[in-house]
């Protein structure tokens, strides 16, 4: 993992508690949702529900899950996997918070996963 | 004979790897006879054995393919069965006792079992061979349909029988627009009589399937792919997918070529042998005493008999029984068995019809015995009727009560309703698909200590096919294990409290924050879930107006960002248009906004106002700012709150108008806008009983009459239409306003979150509402005052707040990287 790919994306406070912000990355090519839980953990997921690409960044966050706003599928924030009985998974991206700054690890352009 | 020496076992070759074949093999494996056999199964399809019935559920998205597999490949191996899948048998040599497969395999048999099923009927019409035309019989067909549903939009199903309807419903569920062509004037005419067929059509029509009954398909048009269906009477239906489901015919080609006796199907005798005693046949490919088959229940009986014969029990014989049909479309209950109508003047037809509840029941009696039953809407007694028909029981003593169902007929009106499992004879059939009786189920539950429906299903197969008898199987489970059947309805899995208990605790124990509610009532999760948080947020907001601070994070996206999210993640914006009245200036402003922000769709809504669809989220504040400056505010088209007040022109213009319905509508909208309610609320005011504003299906509807106003409540035009109840008639507009406010406040304080007025009124009863809102003036005033008080905090235009900068983070992405 090269440190060059860690991008600073903003301060923790810029994301509401139990909320999310979208991130446009022309570099990554797909929208990314950055979540903050009630205990200030931060997760980044591709902002496309595995069901019909609903914007997960607009869902209700509870614990470490988010409910997709379109048809209510619940997705685990840590692994991107849909909570049973639903099936499907969305890609997650590594994030870390250092001194209140959020860093996102972006893969090389064109590389996914 | 030399061959037999090589192997001490009897070689059984099975042609067809479908439902009847494998049930026969399963039955054989369970008997002592199985030790005698070595078994080879040929299947034309490249899959292990699956439950064909469930293809409808796979199409509708209720099940995955994997869930339909009955026997996995490992199962075949474990039981020493050679499965040759994807290689059909093409010839039988009865002299040499061998079969030959398409790929050239030659396999010798001592006993042969034919179970080749049936083929879809294909009408002789042009265009059948076009890409985009398919049948509905196997996995390959379903895959074709699913592929079409992913990329195409219009489907036409030809055939309004069970298969056609399930295909149409599945495709509808998959998002296609679906038309169904049926040759006859009513649907499922072989299983349902005319009234039941019409009720079914109405119900499916409401769910968005368009019907072309009495429609003769002339040809399927298209050059490279299907383009549409041309009907004989000149109607043309455009289509990207055409599904043929007009019937089936037994698949007899192989038997015919082998010189076996055939009629419509392969002729079998009572012992399931064909005209060649070494060859058996079961399933849809057979004809027994002139009858052919299209449902699984009789096939299970055939399988049992055939297996017994193979195991050496020469006494086993097949006799066909009365059959029942049901339809696997969620929420639509249909049952039919035996005769559909009186066949001669001595027959009696007894009918019960309740259009309001969507229930229809008909029983047909001959010589004091039940010979037919058609049920629509409530099918709980179906299996009981079927049993009465099979037992040929004399029911004349119950004649006048029979149609009301078992509980009523057997016990009179005072016994509890629902099946009496204790009194039910052990041989009563519970699962029609699999032919499982009460006795078998109870025995399995006791012997194997089963505790869940899923366990009963896997041990007995009861309710494993179409699933309609699930509730009865659960009932039996409860009866045997003594378990309490109805669990308390809690808000969600986070709590053991019900909606009512939570609401009561909030006001009585003065709980003012979500955390207080959760800790006081012992929530199991620290911060609740997606289900309970929005409910708690509403309950607190309603109980403590002005005190409780709304939690945006517990709101569905629409209510958080004050616009409606669309399927592609853009938003729609609907400004309020008071009472449906607008002005040239407002229209101009809307037009300017549409131009300026390149808004792709401008649509008049069903709620008498204008919707701007496809607005990018980041543009929302600017769009609102422009609308605000033309004097327009949020229409709350997204809110669990007041949506619209529809009006008609009324006395100001209309020659029939008795009162100023438009003016009153505007006053009501000004009174109620901004309020948060358990679910959305819609009002309407019509100027006379012609009711052009459709007031009789609104949460509150006002119908003006000469000298007064009728106040109607609890209507709903949604999924289940409910016509309003009349609350009262008053003489003045002031009374209309006060009663409406008081009624809404009572609804706000009492209903469960996400319960609209229609189910709430039905639950608490009109009288309970009348007592507080009409009869008790002090109480009405108190409710109205609480309504006005909470409106003080609610009537703030959320758009203006956000234009002024609140929640700015919502409308801008994080920094670009
Ligand atoms: C825009 C509109 C359709 C239109 O183009 O005309 C519409 C659009 C939607 N309706 Fe509706 N309904 C619209 C009038 C109606 C009407 C007609 C009416 O109000 O007179 C009804 C039947 C009357 C009734 O509610 O009793 C109606 C019954 C529903 C229902 C079924 C409610 C029920 O109780 O069964 C839903 C589903 C729900 O709310 O759960 C629904 C849900 C929806 C949703 C919110 C679906 C969703 O969750 O995304 C749609 C939002 C689209 C959007 O983003 O704008 N819509 N909807 C209408 C907006 C009216 C307005 O000006 O605010
Ligand atoms: C979508 C759908 C929904 C249904 N719903 C219901 C329902 O709700 N209730 C109900 O009772 N019934 C229902 N049915 C009917 C039920 O599925 C059939 O009655 C049952 O499957 C018939 O069993 P079978 O073994 O005779 O034929 P099949 O299950 O069709 O099995 C025959 C098999 O033999 C294979 N075969 C044919 N020729 C050869 C050959 N020469 N060599 C090798 N293999 C060959 C075929 O490919 C097929 O796999 C439904 C059917 C469909 C298609
Ligand atoms: S607008 Fe209403 S009726 Fe139309 S598709 Fe959406 S929910 Fe269904
Ligand atoms: S798009 Fe997320 S649940 Fe449908």
- Summarised one tens digit per residue, pLDDT across range B628-647 is 999 999 999 999 999 999 99
Q: Which residue has the tokens 């497969």?
A: B101
- Do B550 and B590 have their domain in common? no
CATH of the domain at B447: 1.10.10.1100
**pLDDT confidence band for B411 (50 / 70 / 90):** low
Is residue A11 a part of any domain in this protein? Answer: yes
From the list A38, A58, A74, which residue is nearest B527 (CB)? A38
| Lowest-pLDDT choice from A18-22, B193-197, B403-407, B803-807 | B403-407
Contact B676, B541 (CB under 8 A): yes
pLDDT at B485 (0 to 100): 44
Residues of B in contact with A104 (CB under 8 A): 817
Beta-carbon contacts of residue B554 (< 8 Å; ≥ 6 apart) = A60, B514, B528, B533, B534, B536, B537
| Helix, strand, coil percentages in chain A from 3-state DSSP, rounded to 5 | 10, 40, 55
The token pair at B193 is 């009589």
Number of structural domains chain A divides into: 1
SS3 category, B92: strand
Average pLDDT value for residue range B372-400: 88
* 8 Å CB contact of B569 and A26: no
Q: Does residue B634's CB lie within 6 angstroms of at least one atom of ligand 1?
A: no
Whether residue B420 is predicted with pLDDT greater than 80 in this model: the reply is no
Query: What's this model's pTM, rounded to 2 decimal places?
Result: 0.52
Residue in A with minimal Cα distance to B525: A63
Q: For chain B, first and last CA: distance in Å?
A: 81
Is residue B527 a part of any domain in this protein? Answer: yes
- B597 C-alpha vs ligand 4 centroid, how far in Å? 27
> CA-CA distance, B37 to B41, in Å (whole number)?
12
The token pair at B17 is 């790897």
Q: Nearest C-alpha to atom 4 of ligand 4 is from which residue?
A: A71
> Per residue in B373-385, pLDDT tens?
999 988 888 988 9
**pLDDT confidence band for B817 (50 / 70 / 90):** low
Is residue A107 a part of any domain in this protein? Answer: no
Q: Buried (b) or exposed (e) across B238-255, using 16+ Cβ within 10 A?
A: ebbbbbbbbbbebbbebb
The token pair at B73 is 């490949």
pLDDT at A85 (0 to 100): 72
**pLDDT confidence band for B453 (50 / 70 / 90):** confident
Q: Does residue B298's CB lie within 6 angstroms of at least one atom of ligand 2?
A: no
**pLDDT confidence band for B735 (50 / 70 / 90):** very high
The token pair at A94 is 């590594």
Dihedral pair phi/psi, residue B480, rounded to 5°? -75, -45
Beta-carbon contacts of residue A111 (< 8 Å; ≥ 6 apart) = none
Residue in B with minimal Cα distance to A11: B814
Is residue A44 a part of any domain in this protein? Answer: yes
From the list B556, B561, B815, which residue is nearest A10 (CB)? B815
Whether residue B81 is predicted with pLDDT greater than 60 in this model: the reply is yes
Is residue B325 a part of any domain in this protein? Answer: no
The token pair at B122 is 């294909």
From the list A22, A58, A67, which residue is nearest B813 (CB)? A22
Q: Nearest C-alpha to atom 61 of ligand 1 is from which residue?
A: B607
CATH of the domain at B358: 3.30.390.30
Is residue A26 a part of any domain in this protein? Answer: yes
For residue B328, give the ligand 2 atom closest to its CA.
8
User: Which residues form the domain of A38?
Assistant: 6-102
- Do B633 and B646 have their domain in common? no
The last residue of one of the domains, among B526, B555, B584, is B555
Residues of B in contact with A34 (CB under 8 A): 814
Query: Where does A1-113 show beta strands of DSSP type E?
Result: 6-11, 19-23, 32-36, 42-46, 60-62, 65-67, 74-76, 92-93, 95-98, 101-105
> Per residue in B126-167, pLDDT tens?
999 999 999 999 999 999 999 999 999 999 999 999 999 999
Enumerate chain B positions whose Cβ falls within 8 A of a Cβ in A. Answer: 525-530, 533-534, 552-558, 561, 565, 567, 569, 809, 813-817
Q: What is the dihedral of CA B779, B785, B789, B790, to 10 degrees?
A: 50
- Do B254 and B305 have their domain in common? yes
Q: Does residue B642's CB lie within 6 angstroms of at least one atom of ligand 1?
A: no
Is residue A110 a part of any domain in this protein? Answer: no
Residues in chain B: 817
Q: Does residue B463's CB lie within 6 angstroms of at least one atom of ligand 2?
A: no
The token pair at B281 is 């046949």
Q: For chain A, first and last CA: distance in Å?
A: 13
**pLDDT confidence band for B1 (50 / 70 / 90):** very low
Question: CB-based burial of residue B453 (10 Å sphere; 0-12 exposed, 13-18 middle, 19+ buried)?
Answer: middle
Q: What is the dihedral of CA B663, B669, B671, B673, to 10 degrees?
A: -160
pLDDT at B4 (0 to 100): 42
pLDDT at B2 (0 to 100): 39
Pairing mode of beta strands B348-354, B429-431: unpaired
Average pLDDT value for residue range B573-578: 97
Is residue B488 a part of any domain in this protein? Answer: no
Q: What is the dihedral of CA B381, B385, B391, B396, to 10 degrees?
A: 110
CA distance B148 to chain A (A): 17
Q: Of B500, B498, B450, nearest to B478 (Cα)?
A: B450
From the list A23, A59, A62, which residue is nearest B817 (CB)? A23
**pLDDT confidence band for A109 (50 / 70 / 90):** low
Is residue A19 a part of any domain in this protein? Answer: yes
| Strand order through the sheet with A32-36 | A19-23, A32-36, A42-46, A92-93
SS3 category, B708: strand
- Do B690 and B702 have their domain in common? yes
CATH of the domain at A22: 2.102.10.10
pLDDT at B14 (0 to 100): 98
Whether residue A107 is predicted with pLDDT greater than 80 in this model: the reply is no
Number of structural domains chain B divides into: 7
CATH of the domain at B175: 3.50.50.60
| Helix, strand, coil percentages in chain B from 3-state DSSP, rounded to 5 | 35, 20, 40
Residue in B with minimal Cα distance to A62: B529
| Lowest-pLDDT choice from B3-12, B594-603, B671-680 | B3-12
* 8 Å CB contact of B813 and A24: yes
Is residue A109 a part of any domain in this protein? Answer: no
Q: Which residue has the tokens 């099923």?
A: B117
> CA-CA distance, B384 to B145, in Å (whole number)?
37
Contact B106, B100 (CB under 8 A): yes
Q: Which helix (H) or strand (E) holds B24?
A: helix B19-30
> Per residue in B274-310, pLDDT tens?
999 999 999 999 999 999 999 999 999 999 999 999 9
- Do B196 and B292 have their domain in common? no
Q: Which ligand is nearest to the CA of B85?
A: 2
Contact B552, A84 (CB under 8 A): no
- B582 C-alpha vs ligand 1 centroid, how far in Å? 21
| Strand order through the sheet with A95-98 | A6-11, A101-105, A95-98
The last residue of one of the domains, among B194, B224, B246, is B246
* 8 Å CB contact of A60 and B556: yes
- Do B649 and B784 have their domain in common? yes
- Do B649 and B671 have their domain in common? yes
User: Which residues form the domain of B100?
Assistant: 10-118+250-310
Residues of B in contact with A63 (CB under 8 A): 525-527, 529
Q: Nearest C-alpha to atom 3 of ligand 2 is from which residue?
A: B53
From the list A9, A19, A69, which residue is nearest B553 (CB)? A19
């Amino acid at each position: 993992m090269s440190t060059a790919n860690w991008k600073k994306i903003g301060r923790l406070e810029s994301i509401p508690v139990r909320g999310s912000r979208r991130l446009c990355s022309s570099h990554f090519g797909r929208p990314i949702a950055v979540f903050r839980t009630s205990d200030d953990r931060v997760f980044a997921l591709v902002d496309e529900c595995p069901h019909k690409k609903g914007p997960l960044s607009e869902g209700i966050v509870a614990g470490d899950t988010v409910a997709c706003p379109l048809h209510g599928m619940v997705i685990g924030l840590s692994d991107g996997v849909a909570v049973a009985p639903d099936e499907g998974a969305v890609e997650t991206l590594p994030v870390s918070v250092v001194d209140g700054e959020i860093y996102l690890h972006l893969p090389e352009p064109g590389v996914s996963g | 004979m030399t061959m037999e020496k090589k192997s001490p076992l009897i070689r059984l070759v099975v042609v067809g790897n479908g439902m009847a074949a494998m049930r026969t093999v399963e039955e054989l494996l369970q008997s002592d006879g199985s030790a005698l056999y070595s078994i080879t199964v040929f299947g034309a399809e490249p899959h292990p054995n699956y439950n064909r019935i469930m293809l409808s559920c796979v199409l509708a998205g209720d099940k995955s393919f994997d869930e339909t597999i009955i026997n996995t490949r490992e199962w075949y191996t474990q039981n020493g069965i050679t499965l040759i899948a994807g290689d059909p048998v093409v010839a039988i040599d009865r002299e040499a006792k061998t079969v030959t497969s398409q790929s050239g395999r030659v396999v010798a048999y001592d006993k042969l079992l034919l179970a080749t099923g049936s083929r879809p009927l294909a009408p002789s019409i042009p265009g059948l061979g076009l890409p985009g035309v398919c049948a509905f019989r196997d996995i390959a067909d379903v895959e074709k349909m699913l592929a079409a549903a992913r990329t195409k939009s219009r489907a036409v199903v030809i055939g309004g029988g069970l298969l056609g309807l399930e295909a149409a419903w599945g495709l509808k569920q998959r998002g296609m627009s679906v038309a169904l062509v049926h040759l006859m004037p009513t649907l499922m005419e072989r299983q349902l009589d005319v009234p039941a067929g019409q009720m079914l059509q109405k119900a499916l029509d409401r769910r968005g399937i368009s019907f072309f009954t009495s429609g003769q398909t002339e040809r399927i048009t298209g050059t490279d792919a299907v383009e549409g269906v041309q009907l004989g009477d000149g109607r043309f239906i455009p289509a990207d997918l055409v599904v043929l489901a007009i019937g089936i015919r037994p698949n007899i080609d192989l038997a015919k070529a082998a010189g076996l006796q055939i009629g419509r199907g392969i002729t079998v005798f009572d012992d399931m042998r064909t005209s060649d005693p070494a060859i058996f046949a079961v399933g849809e490919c057979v004809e027994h005493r002139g009858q052919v088959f299209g449902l699984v229940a009789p096939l299970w009986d055939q399988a049992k008999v055939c297996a017994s014969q193979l195991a050496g029990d020469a006494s086993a014989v097949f006799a066909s029984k009365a059959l029942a049909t049901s339809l696997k479309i969620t929420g639509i209950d249909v049952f039919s068995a035996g005769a559909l109508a009186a066949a001669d003047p001595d027959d009696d037809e007894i009918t019960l019809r309740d259009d309001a509840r969507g229930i229809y029941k008909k029983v047909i009696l001959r010589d004091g015995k039940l010979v037919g039953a058609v049920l629509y809407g409530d099918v709980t007694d179906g299996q009981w009727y079927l049993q009465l028909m099979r037992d040929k029981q004399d029911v004349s003593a119950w004649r006048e009560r029979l149609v009301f169902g078992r509980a009523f007929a057997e016990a009179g009106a005072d016994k509890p309703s629902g099946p009496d499992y204790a009194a039910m004879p052990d041989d009563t059939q519970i699962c029609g698909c699999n032919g499982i009786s009460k006795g078998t189920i109870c025995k399995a539950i006791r012997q194997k200590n089963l505790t869940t429906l899923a366990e009963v299903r896997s041990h007995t197969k009861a309710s494993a096919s179409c699933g309609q008898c699930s509730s009865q199987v659960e009932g039996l489970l409860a009866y045997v294990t003594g378990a309490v059947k109805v669990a308390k309805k809690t808000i969600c899995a986070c709590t053991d409290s019900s909606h009512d208990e939570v609401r009561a605790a909030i006001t009585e124990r003065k709980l003012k924050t979500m955390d207080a509610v959760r800790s006081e009532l012992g929530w199991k999760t620290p911060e609740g879930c997606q289900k309970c948080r929005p409910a708690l947020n509403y309950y607190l907001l309603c109980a403590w107006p002005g005190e409780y601070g709304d939690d945006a994070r517990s709101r569905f996206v629409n209510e958080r960002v004050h616009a409606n999210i669309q399927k592609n993640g853009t938003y729609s914006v609907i400004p309020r248009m008071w009472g449906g009245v607008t002005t040239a200036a407002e229209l101009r402003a809307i037009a300017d906004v549409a131009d300026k922000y390149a808004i792709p769709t401008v649509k008049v809504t069903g709620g008498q106002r204008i919707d701007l669809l496809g607005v990018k989220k980041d543009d929302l504040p600017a769009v609102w700012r422009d609308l605000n400056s033309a004097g327009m505010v949020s229409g709350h088209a997204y809110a669990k709150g007041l949506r619209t007040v529809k009006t008609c022109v009324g006395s100001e213009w209309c020659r029939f108008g008795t009162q100023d319905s438009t003016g009153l509508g505007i006053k009501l909208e000004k009174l109620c806008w901004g309020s948060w309610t358990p679910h959305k609320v819609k009002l309407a005011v019509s100027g006379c009983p012609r009711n052009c504003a459709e007031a009789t299906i609104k949460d509150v509807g006002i119908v003006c009459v000469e000298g007064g106003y009728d106040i109607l409540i609890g209507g709903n035009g949604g999924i289940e239409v409910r016509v309003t109840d009349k609350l009262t008639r008053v003489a003045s507009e002031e009374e209309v306003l006060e009663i409406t406010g008081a009624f809404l406040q009572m609804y706000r304080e009492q209903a469960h979150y996400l319960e609209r007025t229609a189910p709430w009124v039905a639950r608490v009863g009109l009288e309970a509402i009348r007592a507080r809102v009409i009869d008790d003036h002090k109480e009405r005033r108190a409710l109205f005052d609480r309504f006005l008080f909470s409106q003080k905090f609610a009537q703030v235009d959320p758009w203006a707040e956000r234009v002024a900068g609140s929640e700015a983070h919502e409308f801008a992405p994080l920094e670009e990287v």
